[in-house]
Amino acid sequence: MAVHPIDYRYGSEEMRRIWDEENKLQKLLDVEAALARAHAKVGNIPEDSARVISERANTKWVKVERVKEIEAEIHHDIMAVVKALSEVCGEHGKYVHLGATSNDIIDTANALLIKESLEIVKNDLKEIRSILKNLAGEHKYTVCIGRTHGQHAVPTTYGMKFAIWLDEIQRHIDRIDELKERVLVGQMSGAVGTMASFGSKGLEIQRLVMEDLGLKPARISNQIIQRDVYAELMMVLALIASTLDKIALEIRNLQRTEILEISEPFGKKQVGSSTMPHKRNPIRSEKVSGLARVLYSNVIPALLNNPLWHERDLTNSSVERVILPESFVLLDEMLKSMKKVLSGLKFFPKNIKSNLYMTNNLIMAEPLMLKLTEKGMGRQEAHELVRQLAMKAFYENRDLIDVAMGNKDVRKFLTEEDFESLKPENYIGMAPRIVDNVIAWIEEKERKEGR
C-alpha cells in the first residue's frame, strides 16, 4: 500500500522508476559487477568468475524479495545484496564484494541514480527554457505596469518578466553541468578509505570500476563520499525549486481577480471549487509553491549529514533514503507542472492596459521629473515639484499629466509636445533590446549544445 504521495501522486513514471526498489537494487548490482570485472582485469579473480557475476548481477537473478528476506535475518542491507548475489553465482559467489565496504557500493550506486535523475531535470529545464524564450520574444513589446513593494512603479514589459526567468533557468542548466563534475563520483576504497583491502592495486581497481560505470573516481574519501557533495546537490535542487516558486508566485499574483493580467490554463471540465462553481484557481502554480517548501526543508538535513563521527557513522543513511528520492520526484513534479502552466499561459490584454492606466498616470512621475531635468530644471527641484504634483493628483483623483499641465512652474519648461510624449507605452527604455540580448545569448547556448 502506497503511503508517500511520491508513490502515487507526484512525479513522472520515468523519475519514480529511477528511485524504485528494483532500480536501486540494480544499480547496487551494477557496481558489484563492475568491481568483479576490475578484479579480473588486474588478475585478482578468474575471468570466468567475473563473467558469471556480471551475467547474474541483475534483478532477473537477484530478486528484491530475496534481498529483503536476508536483510530481515541479518539486519544489514548491503550484506543482504551480497549474499543474494553470491547465492545465484554458485562457486563464483566467493568473489562477490571482494575488498569493498558497504558505502563503496552505496555511494557509487547513488551517483548512478543521481546521474539519471539530473538528466531528466536538465531536459525539463531545457523545455522550460524554450517556452520562456518564445514567450519573451512574443511579448517584448507587451507593455505592462511594473510593481515594487506591491505598488505600481513604472512601465515594463512582459518580455522582460519572461526574459528574467529565462536567464535564471539557463543558470540552473549551467549549474547542473558544473555540479556533475563534483557529484557524479564513486569510490572503491575499502574501510576508512585507505584501499588497504585492495592492496597495491587499489587505485587501479577504483579507476577501472569508475571507467566501467561512467563516473569519476573520488580523489580521496574515508568510508564515504564526503557529504558536502550531497549538500551541494540538494542546494542546487532547492535553488531550481526557488525559481519555479518565483515564477508560480508571480503568476498567482497576476491571476488575482483584482489584477487578472495572465492566468494559468483552465480545462473545459476542470472544477475550481467543490462549493463555488465560478472559481478558476491557480492550482498548478500553488502546488509548485507548496512543494518548493519541502525541497527547501531538505537542504538542512543534507547539511547536517556532512559532519559525521570520525571516518563515518550511519546518521546520514536514513536521511538520504528519504531526501534523495523525495527531492528528485517532487522537483520533477514541479518542473512538469510549470511546463504546462507556461505553455498554456492565458493573457488578458484589456486588463493589462487597464492596470497600466489605473493610477491616472501617477506612474509617469519619474519620466515627468526627468523631462523637466532635461529641459533645464535641477534634478532635486524637479523631484520635489513632481512629488507635490503627484500628491495633489492622488488626493484629488486627477490625472498627473493634467495636473502638471496646469502648473506654471512646469509650463516654463515643457511644451505641448513634451506632454504628449509622456505616455506609459513610451517609457520602456531599452527593454526590447535587453530581451533580444537575452534571447541571442540563449540561442548561442543552444547552438553550442547542439554541436
Matching residue, cell 564484494? 97
pLDDT tens across 346-385, in order?
A: 999 999 999 999 999 999 999 999 999 999 999 999 999 9
> What distance lies between CA 42 and its chain's CA centroid?
42
Q: How many CB atoms lie within 10 A of CB 353?
A: 17
Q: What is the pLDDT of residues 141-155, one digit of tens each?
A: 999 999 999 999 999
Interval 376-409: pLDDT, tens: 999 999 999 999 999 999 999 999 999 999 999 9
Gap between the Cα atoms of 388 and 369, Å rounded: 11
The Cα–Cα gap between 77 and 65 comes to 12
Question: What is the distance between the alpha carbons of residues 243 and 369, in angstroms, rounded to a whole number?
Answer: 35
Interatomic CA distance for residues 216 and 213, integer angstroms: 9
Whole-number pLDDT of residue 3: 87
pLDDT, one tens digit per residue, over 248-304 is 999 999 999 999 999 999 888 888 878 888 889 999 999 999 999 999 999 999 999
pLDDT digits (tens, 9 = 90+) for 1-28: 788 988 889 999 999 999 999 999 999 9
Given the C-alpha cell 528494483, which residue does it identify? 22
- Helix segments in 59-157, DSSP class H: 64-74, 77-88, 102-138
Q: Which residues contact 321 (CB under 8 A, 6 or more apart)?
A: none
* CA separation for the pair 14, 16 (Å, rounded): 6
Length of the chain: 451
Across 20-41, average pLDDT? 98
Q: Please state the separation of Cα 168 from the chain's center in Å.
A: 10
Give CA separation, 132 vs 128, 199, 335, 341, in Å: 6, 54, 13, 11
Tell me: pLDDT of 451 over 80. Answer: no
CA 407 and chain centroid, separation: 53
Structural domains in the chain, sorted by start:
14-98 (1.10.275.10), 101-264+280-358 (1.20.200.10), 362-421 (1.10.40.30)
CA distance 154 to 9: 42
Beta bridge partners of 151: 148
Mean of the per-residue pLDDT values of the chain: 96
What does pTM read for this prediction? 0.95
Catalytic residue numbers, as ranges: 149, 273
Pairing mode, strands 262-263 and 216-217: unpaired
